Structure 1
Amino acid sequence: MRAEDLSPAQLRHVFGSNLRSLSASARSISALCVELGINRTQYNRYLNGEAFPRPDVLYRICSHFDVDARILLEPLETIQRASRVGAIGEISRLLSDLDMLDIPQQALPEGAYLHYRVSYFVPTEISCTLVGFQRDSHGVMRLRGYMPYASSDRIGLPRAAAARRFRGVAFRQLMGFSFILSMERTPLMVLGGFEPSYLGQENFYFGSSVSTQDVLSPAPILLQRLEPGVAAMIAVRGKIGIHPRAHYSPLIRGYFDKHQPA
Structure 2
Amino acid sequence: MDFVQNLKLLCSFYDSTAEVCRKMGVNRTQFNKYLSGQVQPSKANLKIICDFFGVEEFEILMPHDKFRQEVMPEHTLAQQHPALPAYFSKMMELYDQSKIGLGRYVGWYYEYYYSLGFPGRIFCSLIEIAPRQDGIGFSRYERLIPVASKGRKVTHCHYQGIAINLCDRIFLMDYETLTVNEITQTVLFPSYKSQLTRLFGVKIGVSSKSHREPACTRVMYQFLGETIDFRKQFRHCGLYQPDELDADIKDCIDNQQERDNPLFIAIGE
Question: Could you tell me how far 1:142 is from its partner in structure 2?
Answer: 1.1
Give the secondary structure class of the aligned counterpart of 1:239.
Answer: coil
> Matched residues, percent identical?
15
d(CA) in 2 for partners of 1:188 and 1:241?
A: 19
**3-state SS of paired residue (1:246):** helix
Aligned to 2:122: 126
Alpha-carbon spacing, 1:192–1:101, altered in 2? closer, same or farther (3 Å): farther
Give the whole-Å Cα distance in 1 for the aligned partners of 2:249 and 2:195. 11
Question: If the length of structure 2 is used for normalisation, what is the TM-score?
Answer: 0.52
Matched AA of 2:240: H
- Which residue does the alignment assign to 1:135? 131
Structure with greater contact order relative to length (CA < 8 Å, sep ≥ 6): 2
The 5 Å alignment of 1:236-255 reads: 236-237=233-234, 239-255=236-252
* Cα contact 2:95–2:136 (8 A) shared by 1: no
* CA distance in 1 between partners of 2:225 and 2:204 (Å): 28
* Structure of larger gyration radius: 1
8 A Cα contact 2:199 2:221, kept in partner:
yes
More helix by share: 1
Cα deviation, residue 244, structure 1: 1.1
**In structure 1, what is the Cα distance between the partners aligned to 2:197 and 2:88?**
29
1:169 to 157, 162, 165: 162
For residue 255 of structure 1, what is the amino acid of its counterpart?
C
Instruction: State the superposition RMSD in angstroms.
Output: 3.5
The whole-number CA distance in structure 2 between the counterparts of 1:198 and 1:239 is: 28
Structure 2: which amino acid aligns with 1:220?
R
Q: Does 2:253 match 1:256?
A: yes
Secondary structure of 2:189 counterpart: strand
Residue 203 in 1 paired to residue 197 in 2?
yes
TM-score (normalizing by structure 1): 0.53
Whole-angstrom CA distance in 2 between matches of 1:118 and 1:239 = 16
Q: In 1, Cα distance between the equivalents of 2:144 and 2:206? A: 20
5+ long unaligned stretches in structure 1? 1-79, 152-157
In 1, are the aligned partners of 2:205 and 2:215 still within 8 Å (CA)? no
Tell me the secondary structure at the aligned position of residue 114 of structure 1: strand
Report the count of equivalent residues.
172
The equivalences for 1:23-102 within 5 A come to 83=79, 90-98=86-94, 101-102=97-98
Equivalent in the alignment of 1:154: none
What do the CA deviations read for 1:8-32 (whole angstroms, capped 9, x no partner)? Answer: xxxxxxxxxxxxxxxxxxxxxxxxx
Task: Determine which of 118, 131, 143 is the counterpart of 1:148.
Answer: 143
How big is each residue's C-alpha offset from its partner over 1:126-160, in whole Å with a ceiling of 9 and x where there is no partner?
A: 1011111111112x111113321328xxxxxx967
Is the CA contact (8 Å cut-off) linking 1:196 and 1:202 kept in structure 2?
no
Structure 2 unaligned segments of length 5 or more: list them: 1-75, 147-152, 259-269
* Contact 1:100 1:173 survives alignment (8 Å): no
Letter of the 2:203 partner, please give it.
S
